[in-house]
Amino acid sequence: MDLVAIIGLNVLSGIASLVLISLGLAIIFGMMRIINLAHGEFLMLGAYATVVSTNLGVNVWIAMLVVSPIFVGLVGLLIERTLIRFLYGRLVDTMLATWGLSLFIVGLITTIFGNTIKGVPTPLGGFQVGAYRSDLYTLVLAFVALALLVAVVVVMRFTRFGLIARATMQNPNMASALGVNPTRIYMLTFGIGAAVTGLAGGLLAPVSGVSPTMGSAFIAKAFITVVGGGASILAGTASAAMLFGFINQLGSYFTTPVFGEVILLVAATVLIRILPEGITGRFFKGSL
Amino acid sequence: MNWTRRRVLTSTAAATGGLILSPAVLRYTALGAENPILVGSLHDQSGPLGTSGQPMVLSVQLAVEELNAAGGLLGRPLKIVSYDPQSNIQLYTQYAQQLALKDKVAVVHGGITSASREAIRPIFDRFKVLYFYNTLYEGGVCDRNEFCLGTTPAQTVQKLVPDAMSKSGKKAYIIAADYNYGQITAKWMTKYCQDNGGTVLSTEFFPLDVTNFGPTISKIQQAKPDLILSALVGGNHTAFYRQWTAAGMKSQIPIASTTFGLVNEPSTLDAKESEGIMGAYGFFEELTTPASKAYVDKMHEKYGKDIPYISELACATYEGVHIWAEAVKKAGSIDRMKMIEALETGISFAGPSGQVTIDKPTHHAVRSAYLAVVKDKKWSVTGSYPDQKPLDTAAVCDLVKNPTDNQQYVIKI
């Protein structure tokens, strides 16, 4: 029974980290159709923002939940203005441009901070489940992931900005004819996507080694989740994260971490073969 | 040296020209030197391995400066030809060919990972360039053209495992990186665990990009070992020590590692995450012998206090260059075969880590090993074992009997 609880916690943490690392990508890729290959580097920037501000004496929670998203959100706005806005509608070009961007960011951060591993200690402590121990931070990750999902629903469904954003993504010309400025909406959406990614990076800083190349460990999983999820950013990301997080963590537990990764990739391949449009191409169709 | 007519003419012309043209050239010829002896250095100075490679290059520089200050070798000054392969195996092979064919160096000190060594070793074999590999590794390389100066598992793991078992208990759980270093080191850990009456409950390997250790931490708790043996490698695997501490396991089961510290974990992790982790290497910056202090002080004095941690990698490189210089003196030549023969006479050098001697049958080093434990973000040395032989490689490799042997052996358990 304790074991079931502890495995359940692992699965929860797997799902939560997948939701966190892929939600920003879902907003940028799912809504705006921009393949952002610098997504992993946005995560890394968020993690560095947390590490640097914590070392400067900022409270670790403020660093993770406030500094990181604001910093990466601003970086996102800057990048949208200087690079992305010239490439809307050109899928392959955005890929190349953001790939170059990712190399540039890795190089820049290496130059500034060197390639040693940084990090902040995990806040909170552990707790006992029968004969086992787990850490409280897992529950924080799960809570923030859930809160983010709820926030996306609220913003998209119940605010004026959400309505305009959805309209603009669906038909920018029509929205423009109705007096909306699509350029501004694109800019803000990209910034929000970047900020969510920055938040994820900040939250992952205490549980992983922070180095300039850490993004590459996350980017494949983020893309798998978003593509597996399909067109709906929210239902898609949530359902794909649940499915893949469950498979990956149970696979790792019952076999080895190597097979855990393999099983995840095989499951993703099979899923895309059966549901080429992703999970939300068949189920929850048309949901947010 | 053959004094052909052309040679006499050109050197006379050069000497005359030098005398007339410039005082700098005058000094140069006055030293009696024709050309400097070229020493190749091939270490990553950027990319993920850059922090390990930078102090190695500085060590080559320090050793060469010392040798030049003492008048060079064979009356000729030494000059370093250094390339940065940027943690990229393809660049390793390209620069290795360049060192061998274009620069025609007398020796190459280089390679950090086993992958980079295996990429460049055949090149130096083919073009007959003497090669020094100065990194701790999993052991077993048998090649007459190569000298391995770093420690192997028989020198470190063999000391670490029984020491850690005596402090905790007999049941171990091995976690290691999923490539040849981790795989082979895990075998040695298993062997030394069993040799000392212990058991290995389970062995798990992790791809280098795994960052989530939750399932493994649960499995370890289920298995209830007395001791964790870790050969985890690199930035992503650092996450294990964080998650282990966060789950509150740090105080319950001790960790001994053969890799902890290679990317300077003691100073980057928080004190409570690293406190008490045990390690074994051929050198620690914190050693307090006069020779080790003098070396570390010289490095800091010349290259600044901010250089990355001076680990066994840097120290063995420094010793490698000096041992090579001893061989050149002994051979009285930079001819490759004469140097190999000189090195095979059991040549030795009193380095920062202690006495280092070349073992003839294996071309590995007989050297000291040290045990240490992390205390307050620094290593605290707890034991020293002088004159440790590379017994693992000696069991499979005998270059006296089979001088043409050329492969890496892997232990069977």
Chain A stretch 170-229, residues whose beta carbon is closer than 8 A to a beta carbon of chain B? 204, 206-211, 213-214, 216-218
Q: How far apart are CA B413 and CA B411, in angstroms?
A: 6
| B12, pLDDT greater than 70 | no
What are the structure tokens assigned to B271, written together? 């004190």
Nearest by CB: A116 against B212, B245, B268? B268
How far apart, in whole angstroms, are the C-alpha atoms of residue B74 and residue B354? 26
Quick check: A162 and B283 in contact, CB under 8 A? no
Neighbours of B23 (CB within 10 A): 10
Q: Which residue of A has its CA nearest to B45?
A: A115
- 3-state percent helix, strand, coil for chain A, nearest multiple of 5: 75, 5, 20
- Size of the A and B interface in Cβ pairs below 8 Å: 140
ipTM for the predicted complex comes to 0.81
Does the pLDDT of residue B67 top 80, yes or no?
A: yes
Task: Identify which has the larger pLDDT, B402 or A287.
Answer: B402
Quote the percentage of chain B above a pLDDT of 70: 92
Residue in chain B lying closest to A125 (CA): B246
Write out the DSSP string of B185-220: HHHHHHHHHHHTT-EEEEEEEE-TT----HHHHHHH
Q: Which of A126, A210, A261 sits opposite B247 (nearest CB)?
A: A126
Q: Which residues pair with B175 in a beta bridge?
A: B204, B230
pLDDT at B24: 45
Which are the contacts of B375, defined by CB distance < 8 A and separation ≥ 6? B275, B276
Q: What is the pLDDT of residue B7?
A: 61
What average pLDDT does the segment A33-57 reach? 92
**Minimal C-alpha gap between A144 and chain B (Å):** 18
Determine which of B166-175, B259-268, B271-280 has the lowest per-residue pLDDT on average: B259-268
pLDDT at A146 > cutoff 90: yes
Mark yes or no for CB contact A209/B235 under 8 Å: yes
Note the pLDDT tens digit of each residue in B185-217.
999 999 999 999 999 999 999 988 888 888 899
- C-alpha pair distances (Å), A270 with each of A91, A267, A284, B114, B255: 25, 5, 20, 36, 40
Nearest to B146, CA basis, from B170, B172, B171, B128: B128
CB contact under 8 A, B238 and A119: yes
Query: According to the model, what pLDDT value does residue A167 have?
Result: 87
User: Which residue from A174, A171, A195, A228 is spatially nearest to A30, judged by alpha carbons?
Assistant: A228
pLDDT at B30 (0 to 100)? 44
Of the partner residues B51, B219, B237, the one whose CB lies closest to the CB of residue A253: B219
At B22 the pLDDT is 46
> Would you state the pLDDT for residue B15?
55
B298-323 pLDDT, tens digit each? 999 999 988 888 999 999 999 999 99
User: What pLDDT sits at residue A129?
Assistant: 79
Cβ(B365)–Cβ(B155) below 8 Å: no
> DSSP string spanning B354-407?
EEEEEETTTTEEEEEEEEEEEETTEEEEEEEEEEE--HHHHTT--TTT-TT-EE
Beta strand pairing status for B78-83 and B37-42?
A: parallel
Chain A positions touching B237 (Cβ under 8 A) are 209
Any CB–CB contact under 8 A between A17 and chain B?
yes
* pLDDT greater than 70 at residue A278: yes
- Residues of B with Cβ-Cβ distance to A207 under 8 angstroms: 211-212, 239, 242-243, 246
Q: Is residue A47 scored above 90 in pLDDT?
A: yes
pLDDT at residue A16, as a whole number: 92
To the nearest whole Å, the CA of B103 is away from the closest chain A CA by 30
Mind listing the pLDDT tens digit for each residue in A96-137? 999 999 999 998 998 888 777 777 888 887 788 777 888 888
> Which member of A127, A136, A216 has the closest CB to residue B209?
A216
Residue with tokens 């061989």: B327
CB pair distance less than 8 Å for B221 and A131: yes
pLDDT higher than 80, residue B106: yes
What is the pLDDT, as a whole number, of residue B29? 46
Report yes or no: A139 at the B interface, CB cutoff 8 Å: no
Residue in A135, A253, A257 closest to B246 by CB: A135
pLDDT in tens, B321-380: 999 999 999 999 999 999 999 999 999 999 999 999 999 999 999 999 999 999 998 999
**Average pLDDT across chain B, whole number:** 88
Q: Please write the tens of the pLDDT for every residue from A180-231.
A: 888 888 899 999 999 999 999 999 988 888 888 888 888 988 999 988 888 8
- Residues A272 and A270: their CA atoms lie apart, in Å, by 6
Q: Is the pLDDT of residue B26 over 50?
A: no
CA trace torsion B311, B365, B88, A44 (10° rounding): -30
Backbone φ and ψ for B245, nearest 5 degrees, come out as -70, -40
- Report yes or no: A135 at the B interface, CB cutoff 8 Å: yes
Chain A residues in contact with B86 by the CB 8 A cut-off are none
Test A209 with B238 for CB contact under 8 angstroms.
yes
Q: Which residues of B touch A (CB under 8 A)?
A: 46-48, 50-51, 178, 204-207, 209-212, 214-219, 221-222, 234-239, 242-243, 245-249, 252, 263-265, 268-270, 272-273, 308
Within an 8 Å CB–CB cutoff, is residue A114 touching chain B? yes
| Residue A69 pLDDT > 50 | yes
Looking at residue A286, its pLDDT comes to: 67
Q: CB–CB of A135 and B207 under 8 A?
A: no
